[in-house]
Amino acid sequence: MGTQDTGWRPVRRARTFEDVLAQIERRIVEDGLTPGDRLPGERHLAEQLQVSRSSVREALRVLETLGVVSSQAGRGPDAGAILTARPDSTLTDLLRLHLGLSSLSMREVVQTRMMIEQWSAARAAASRTEESLERLRADLAAMDAAESVAEFVRHDASFHLGIAELAGNRLIAATMRALRAAVEGYAIEAVTRLGDTAGLMADHRRIYEAIAAGDGDAAVAAVTGHLTRTYPDAT
């Protein structure tokens, strides 16, 4: 798959990373790629699909979470990820989850988040590492420094996804990513409704401190309190 390849089709939709995922899956199937083959580099994919590199990066993170590619094999903007497994129906199922969440009620989505995040927080407290804690601290700092609600919510999403990934279950992490994408607009509305982020920051710090201390029960309680504060009518 060289730099002159024209098989990539420009993406037209607003939420682009689902389309990037779909096109990567299509090319894997159509080109007969097998584990060990390399995908085009991030920069090249962004140019061919006419999307931002952040959209490509988000799609590749989902694929890596699912175990379909490994980005560690390549370095730099032109080094493509290595295919480690055929996506089969896994990626299709994930895309269906992303697209189908719009038909669910907010209560259903938040209750599902509650179950996933409670489980993830307990597991994260038991499997924490200094590297993972450093990522969570970076997300906390970024939330503190956010200059808009949308920016705050973006780093908030990264914090919660980091906990799900730390729990060590790739399907849970992929589901959490889908849920976070589905409720992004609601999250922005919730933060705006609360008026300021001080209480939310206190919640996040309690979650972090419980995980850092290895206290699973306290982490579950902190996550429960946080989601109840944020979505009082849906929990």
Domain residue spans of the chain: 16-92, 104-230
Q: Which tokens go with 129?
A: 């590492």
Q: What is the pLDDT of residues 122-178, one digit of tens each?
A: 999 999 999 999 999 999 999 999 988 988 988 998 899 899 999 988 788 878 877
% of the chain with per-residue pLDDT over 90: 29
Q: Mean pLDDT, the chain, as a whole number?
A: 81
The dihedral region occupied by 88, where left means phi > 0, alpha psi between -120 and 50, and beta the remainder, is left
pLDDT of the residue at 28: 77
Name the DSSP class of 24.
Answer: H
- In angstroms, rounded to a whole number, what is the distance separating the alpha carbons of residues 182 and 180? 5
- In angstroms, rounded to a whole number, what is the distance separating the alpha carbons of residues 179 and 234? 14
| Average confidence (pLDDT) over 114-126 | 96
Amino acid found at 63: L
Q: Is the pLDDT of residue 92 over 60?
A: no
- The CATH number for 16-92, chosen from 1.10.10.10, 1.20.1630.10, 1.10.760.10, 3.20.10.10, is 1.10.10.10
Place of tokens 């996506």: 87
Q: Which tokens go with 176?
A: 């959490």
Q: Is the pLDDT of residue 228 over 50?
A: yes
Closest of 168, 60, 68, 175 to residue 116, by C-alpha: 175
CB-based contact 97:178 (threshold 8 Å)? yes
pLDDT band (50, 70, 90) for residue 9 = low
Q: Is the pLDDT of residue 201 over 90?
A: yes
| Average confidence (pLDDT) over 64-85 | 68
Question: What are the start-end ranges of the H helices in 31-146?
Answer: 42-49, 53-65, 90-100, 106-127, 130-145
- In angstroms, rounded to a whole number, what is the distance separating the alpha carbons of residues 94 and 175? 8
| 67 vs 143, residue with greater confidence | 143
Q: Is the pLDDT of residue 84 over 70?
A: yes
Q: Is the pLDDT of residue 117 over 80?
A: yes
Q: Which tokens go with 131?
A: 């590297």
pLDDT of the residue at 63: 78
Q: Is the pLDDT of residue 93 over 70?
A: no
| 36 vs 203, residue with greater confidence | 203
- For domain 104-230, give the fold: Four Helix Bundle (Hemerythrin (Met), subunit A) (1.20.120)
Q: Is the pLDDT of residue 79 over 50?
A: yes
